[in-house]
Structure 1
Amino acid sequence: MDAIKGHEDKSETRAEFVQALEARLGCEIVVTGTDVAVYCRDWHGDIQSDAVAVLRPRSTAEVQDCVRAAIDLGLQVVPQGGNTGLVLGAVPDAPDRQVVVSLERMTKIRSLDADNFSAVVEAGIVLEDLKEKVAQEGLYFPLALGAQGSCRLGGNVATNAGGVNVLRYGMTRELLLGLEVVLPDGSLFEGLNCLRKDNRGIDLKQLFIGSEGTLGIITAVSVKLLPAPEQVATALLALGSLEDAITLYRRARRQCCDLMSAFEFMPPIAFELAKEGMPDLVLPMQAEYPAYVLMELSGSGLVDIDDLMVRFVEFAFEEGLALDGVIATSQAQARNLWLIREGMNEGQAKRGKHLRTDISVPLSRMAEFVSEVEAKIGTEMPDAICVSYGHVGDGNVHLNVLPGSRGDVDEQIYCAKQIANEVLDRYNGSISAEHGIGRLKKDDFSQRLTDVHRRLLESVRSAIDPALTMNRGCQIDL
């Protein structure tokens, strides 16, 4: 595995730091030695770094103690949730002067108000655990990610995570009511409330959503909840092209309206990759069509979701858009269909290092964009494999590239990224639709900032963290 380089290991200084941290915070909070490694690698295992120590507080007050201890010792703080991010936002890059503050022990649901459809939750709770616990009360938290079994809510907020339900429920930003944040000086921003309407001036919580730990450590979150959907219908449809997928989405958006909760597109290689990632996976059809759509409708009350799905799929066949397809008749079958989408990510990971992009373009130009990028990469890198998939409803494309056997892997990844970004700029798209900037995309982000945009970002960060204690090296350099 590669390591983040550029900082000399000063072991004596580290030992002194560790001794001071343990004396001040206690050995129960301070993790050192070989146990630090797991907190200092990226999710895919491509990067391995190090840190002076990992601090594992159990309460907001202990988070404050950790930050103040770091300040007094002249150390920088790297906040961390589940460490499932894909842009190195929570991976330390200055091993001799950074500590990781992990929120993994702060997992309580402080309160749940079913009548107000809200909950106050500590930031270290695993997303899937939160979803399961509110479901026991007949409620639903709609954020849905492939990593939901290991990602943590604070990290979801800090990165403004997206996922498969954005087209109906929005990004994480739209699902929040309030935040509690430990600031870079150790003080506490107490912004937790469960009000839908609160127009008392500037909404300060918005500063911390998507800040990737550069402005403070999110310790608790007030979230919006919804009635749990009583009916869910899932279908996998085969189509003739990505253009047909866009056309089908337009029709579904009008005919199924706000009852559509997911609309994902996949290429035929998705089936092959899914089997590589999950060998026991049962595939419901052959990978013999140019494009596939995985769609989901959900709702409660008097609406017949199953009938709506059947009628829409019939319409898709009548219009010649759907060439083959299957509608799940049980929760197990629906889960199996979603495993194709999740398994293709596992399969890509098993093939080794590759380019992972997180791009957004206007929905009306998505098919055109994918076609142009794949053609350019095919011309310049003929043995590379493009794997384009994503969220049709919000214009988010994960255009990944698996390097070929000829040439250096890192050089191929760099070349493919340059091609994708060059085309993306002409489409006025974004290099980060949902994963954030972190350290991985910092240079590409910086190159695309206008002077005014940069000045505003630097001003906000300098005002809140003038000493650059929080996650220095993430997003932008100051």
Structure 2
Amino acid sequence: MSNLHPQLLKRLHAAVGDAGLVIDSEGKAPYETDWLKKFTGSSSIVVRPANTAETAAVMCICHETHTPVVTQGGNTGMSGGATPDGSGAQVVLSTVRMNAIRAVDPLNNTLTCEAGVLLAHIQAAAQEVDRFFPLSLGSEGSCTIGGNLATNAGGIAVLRYGNTRELALGLEVVLPDGRVWHGLRALRKDNTGYDLRDLFIGSEGTLGVITAAVLKLSPRPVARATAWVGARDIEALVQLLAQLRADCGERLVAFEMMSAPSLALILAHVADVRAPLGEEHAFHALIELADTQGEGLASLLEGSLEKALESGSVQDVAVSASGAQTQAFWKIREGISQAQMRAGKAIKHDIALPISAIAGFAHRAEAALRAADPDVRIINFGHLGDGNLHYNVLLPLDSAPEVLAAATARFNRIVHDMVAEADGSISAEHGVGQLRRDELRHYKSEVEFDLMMRIKQSLDPNQIMNPGKLI
């Protein structure tokens, strides 16, 4: 049962009704642990408002009573940003009942929906009107658009379409004191003051509750061309990326990289996958073009890759000859998270670097990690096209908690110091949450951190929104 004060519980019940409350321990359990099972907390109650008005009522009550609130969408985050702490005093506010698509406007290329709509449902709704919503993640069948916005999620199509921030035009947000900012404007141009939309996107629930959004749609691609390439080193892939951009322009949608150890891990731990190339290579890339015109796309990709083979930028190429082969390529890429969970305990580094700095970073980081531990297992993969690497260190599955904690602190400092030296970011697309909160304080300047704290204090003076996360 909830340990909330009975009067507070009564007020929350009046706001959301029986269907909006989860009080029993068994019912609350799925909301109290993140999907990676890295963070587990205890919530006093789970509140599931059905609409913006109910959300506003809940926040007004929590603001008045100084009750801390953790907003949660599909609970698919990678950094513990939507998990309550262990105090039992925090309320989890789940947006999953706010799941309506309010409007689709194909002439304006926009879709307006509530925060609890699954990403896959948004993609399907766009397709029904011959449009395309390009945000694509491995968790798209279970993550919500509210969570995507709160963390400014990335995914496989950032290279062409941008992060979630670039895919949103307007927001509706319930502020910590229960007021509602009605910012659902479907406009490409609006110079009427501060850009409040961008303030809430990426704020990880620390400034308010995103309840709805206007999203940008794009023309639906009718043709795709996909290839898998093998290269001798990461420098060769960077060169190939530059060539493909020059040859193919905005048709280049994805350029996914993985090292040989990453591919080997997937082949060992994911069913029904096989190596796309006949020989082993130090680095691999999965490349995809897409276009609204169906003619000549495959020839364009093949011509560019032939030049890369002739110049030595790549060593081997397999161009997909069918939809099934394309799916097989993508299954390999999408299996990396599953493979890591099965093979060991990953110390994750979700980093962003200038593309020109990636090769030098990879060499320096590997040398430094091997100097610290000659047996270290480095799993290096990610979205090379937009400079986002998942540069992970894999420990044995049976590693004791104290061993994992010590290794995490040691390897984080090595990797993140090198990222900072290259003017990179220690959080590219997964958010800061609990996982990187202390690291963020180490790398943010005093001025930048002070500005963030002032914004937080201005909007959330009672400090109730997602305490212990981000800042």
TM-score (norm 1): 0.93
Where does residue 441 of structure 1 map in the other structure? 436
Aligned residue number for residue 457 of structure 1: 452
In structure 2, list runs of 5 or more residues that go unmatched. Answer: none
Q: Does 1:161 align with 2:181?
A: no
Q: In the alignment, which residue of structure 2 is the partner of 1:333?
A: 325
The residue aligned with 1:420 is: 415
Match of 1:362 in 2: 354
* Structure-2 change in CA distance of 1:84 and 1:286 (3 Å): farther
* Cross-structure match for 1:206: 198
Q: Which residue among 84, 87, 94 is the counterpart of 1:92? A: 84
CA contact (8 A) 1:354 1:413 kept: no
| Corresponding residue for residue 114 of structure 1 | 106
Give the CA deviation at 1:464.
0.9
Relative distance call for 1:131 and 1:24 in structure 2 (3 A) is closer
Match of 1:223 in 2: 215
Report if the CA contact (8 A) 1:383-1:406 is conserved.
no
Cα deviation for residue 19 of structure 1 reads 5.1
Would the aligned equivalents of 1:17 and 1:52 in 2 still touch at CA under 8 Å?
Answer: no
The CA deviation at 1:406 is 8.2
Separation in 2 of the partners of 1:275 and 1:19? 54
Q: Kindly report which structure 2 residues correspond to 1:343-422, keeping only aligned pairs within 5 A, or say none.
A: 343-403=335-395, 408-422=403-417
CA–CA separation in structure 2 for the residues paired with 1:169 and 1:443: 31
Deviates more, 1:268-277 or 1:79-88: 268-277
Instruction: Pick the aligned partner of 2:56 from 40, 50, 64.
Output: 64
Indicate yes or no: 2:255 matched with 1:263. Answer: yes
The letter for the 2-side match of 1:141 is F
1:310 to 302, 310, 313: 302
Distance, in Å, in 2 between the alignment partners of 1:145 and 1:165 is 9
What's the counterpart of residue 30 of structure 1?
21
SS of equivalent to 2:57 = helix
Displacement of 1:165: 1.1
- Alignment partner of 1:235 is 2:227: yes
Measure how far apart 1:231 and its partner are. 0.5
1:77, distance to aligned residue in structure 2 (A): 0.9
Query: Comparing 258-267 with 373-382, which one deviates more in the overlay?
Result: 373-382
For 1:417 and 1:46, the matched residues in 2 are separated by 16
Match of 1:80 among 72, 75, 78: 72
Look up the equivalent residue of 1:212 and give its one-letter code: E
Instruction: Give the CA deviation at 1:403.
Output: 1.7
Deviations 1:218-249 (A, max 9, x none): 01000110110000111100111111000111
Please state if 1:475 is matched with 2:470: yes
Give the Cα separation in 2 of the matches to 1:34 and 1:287: 50
Q: Which residue of 2 aligns with 1:431?
A: 426
**Structure 1 residue ranges without an equivalent (≥5):** 1-9
The aligned residue for residue 178 of structure 2 is: 186
Q: Confirm whether residue 172 of structure 1 aligns to residue 167 of structure 2.
A: no
In structure 2, how many angstroms separate the alpha carbons of the residues matched to 1:25 and 1:119? 27
Aligned-residue identity in percent: 38
Instruction: State the one-letter code of the partner of 2:366.
Output: E
Q: Provide the C-alpha distance between the structure 2 equivalents of 1:181 and 1:449, rounded to a whole number of angstroms.
A: 27
Letter in 1 for 2:417: E
What SS does the aligned partner of 1:434 have? coil
In 1, Cα distance between equivalents of 2:339 and 2:204:
28
Give distance in 2, aligned partners of 1:124 and 1:401: 33
